Structure 1
């Protein structure tokens, strides 16, 4: 674990990883997004027709495209220049989405009180200065606006966490370690030689930082696979053993 690595290094690594990452995404995202995150995000968002929506950390843009097709007025940012190139390539010309390269820690090109809804899907753990990102989201929302974000579950996805297995590969239980360590750690990315950076915080730090920013917590969800998804992808039965993700819905 290397505390001297920050967001700038994370951006460089995401630029390197962007093409590999995007190849694993369909118009519903990757498998984990399809099974866990999309159903939760959509249920928390409700009807977004005619709403001004910011996709904060859009990746290859699948959510931005879904938002636009749902009738929203969509702006999307990502801190990886290569990722923005990919999402523009993947977006048909008739989808009028305003894509911009920008770090969620400082979105000074966007005006105060510009959005009814901000969604940040699996992004906050990629930022060294998450407190600044929360402040930016608060600044950009209209009064009464909503901020929904998903993250790796901070209680279970920690530095050195992972399955304890038998010699034959049977999964015995999920190990958690270094929970109270707060800072950066490296994680292999889909077999790539390059390792990605994650920034771990405790649940206490997340909740207190959100409250101190001014947000009201409306809902917290730990997504589980639905019966329909289990029929389609039976291997996700193991995800009832511990939670992989956490989703927050907040109000300004």
Structure 2
């Protein structure tokens, strides 16, 4: 399944590099503003891991705020897109969050993972690695699909199970099968709490600019959560 996810995002890399930043309100006017509000505007001398960097949008924002950035992703095509965006301003590495991360203990002040963890079935090893490489009192900030949203795609109709779902995304005239794992909110929260202290649970709502661009989507997102954001601290 891991290879199928990589292949899907190799195909999607062109869309992420050239279209998502401006044409996807779910990213530009919903998830990204809510995530960036949790990150200090000044990151001088701070070390940030962009865990699942895609085409590098988040890494670019952290660099602009003064951070030293390492960006990683399992998709080779996404990594090439990120390198084109970031140049020599970040360390960009092709690797999976399901393998041992090649960083020393207590390396990073922040780990940010945007819409990535739902592609991993078991978070145990990944969170152990995050805890190891995050500095004491460092922040883990991640977003995932909201369990409420994923219920509509469930074939089992069992909210309490972790379930493999294959969604279909129409991008660039292609229909791309994208596998991911749906899980209940209590599992998301309780797995995080095994390793970190929960600072904030955020169910974002769209910005006003979303209404200007796509009023129908704005109304939908104001009433129905699509993503879930977890802000946690390494102080356990």
TM-score (norm 1): 0.83
Of 169, 180, 186, 1:189 maps to 169
Q: Deviations over 1:14-56 (max 9, x none)?
A: 2233223433223x68321211112211111123232100000
Q: Does 1:205 align with 2:199?
A: no
Offset of residue 232 of structure 1: 4.3
Offset of residue 177 of structure 1: 4.2
Could you tell me which runs of 5 or more consecutive residues in structure 1 were left unpaired when the two chains were aligned: 1-5, 162-175
1:215 matched residue in structure 2: 196
Aligned equivalents of 1:157 and 1:40: distance in 2?
20
Aligned equivalents of 1:113 and 1:220: distance in 2?
24
Aligned equivalents of 2:78 and 2:101: distance in 1?
20
Alignment length, in residue pairs? 229
Offset of residue 156 of structure 1: 2.6
Aligned equivalents of 1:153 and 1:39: distance in 2?
17
Per the alignment, do residues 74 and 209 of structure 1 end up closer, same or farther by CA in structure 2, a change over 3 Å counting? same
2:33 matched residue in structure 1: 39
Could you tell me which runs of 5 or more consecutive residues in structure 2 were left unpaired when the two chains were aligned: none
Q: Does 1:127 align with 2:120?
A: yes
Offset of residue 89 of structure 1: 1.8
Contact 1:155/1:179 (<8 A) preserved: no
Per the alignment, do residues 127 and 145 of structure 1 end up closer, same or farther by CA in structure 2, a change over 3 Å counting? same
1:193 match: secondary structure: strand
Q: Deviations over 1:34-80 (max 9, x none)?
A: 11112211111123232100000000001111110111110000011
Query: Could you say which structure has the larger radius of gyration?
Result: 1
Aligned equivalents of 1:21 and 1:196: distance in 2?
14
Of 230, 235, 244, 2:211 maps to 230
Of 142, 153, 170, 2:146 maps to 153
Q: Does 1:51 align with 2:31?
A: no
Greater percentage in helix: 2
Moved over 6 A (4+): none
**CA RMSD between the two structures:** 2.1
TM-score (norm 2): 0.88
